């Protein structure tokens, strides 16, 4: 964590960014494009994952970062739920569901690992450094 200077350097943010691209393309094809509200919700949820990681990091304090990471983790759960709706409505098939779900699970574990690391570290955040 000490060597990370920008949120873009965080592997978890990079993975969330890739997922955002994947979800964008998943929601840009087939019958789902007509399910406007679901598409909008899915793209907001996936954006919330990467955005909250970034915002929390740039707040400069450990507690705030952990809080925003928890929000990002919640957005992962929200997106998984939305994937079930997309599958139940026959917008996506089993493989598309499984592929996206697996990536979301990976990101959720990465976020949880980062929270655990931050909770056990003496890092306070760059806003406390002079």
d(CA 26, CA 3): 35
**In this structure, what CATH number is given to the domain that contains residue 33?**
1.20.1440.60
Whether 125 is covered by a domain: the verdict is no
The domain in which residue 107 lies consists of 7-119
Q: What's the number of domains the chain is made of?
A: 1
Q: Look at residue 75 and tell me if it is in a domain.
A: yes
What confidence category does residue 23 fall into, taking pLDDT thresholds of 50, 70 and 90? very high
Give per-residue pLDDT as tens, 46-99: 999 999 999 999 998 999 999 999 999 999 999 999 999 999 999 999 999 999
């Amino acid at each position: 964590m000490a060597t990370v200077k920008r949120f873009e350097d965080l592997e978890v943010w990079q993975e969330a960014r890739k997922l955002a691209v994947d979800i964008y393309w998943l929601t840009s094809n087939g019958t789902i494009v007509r399910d406007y509200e679901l598409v909008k919700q899915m793209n907001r949820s996936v954006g919330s994952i990467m955005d909250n990681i970034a915002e929390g990091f740039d707040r400069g304090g450990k507690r705030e970062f952990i809080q925003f990471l928890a929000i990002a983790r919640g957005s992962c759960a929200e997106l998984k739920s939305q994937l079930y709706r997309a599958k139940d409505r026959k917008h996506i098939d089993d493989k598309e569901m499984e592929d996206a779900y697996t990536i979301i699970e990976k990101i959720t574990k990465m976020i949880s690992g980062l929270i655990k690391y931050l909770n056990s570290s003496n890092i306070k955040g760059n806003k406390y450094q002079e």
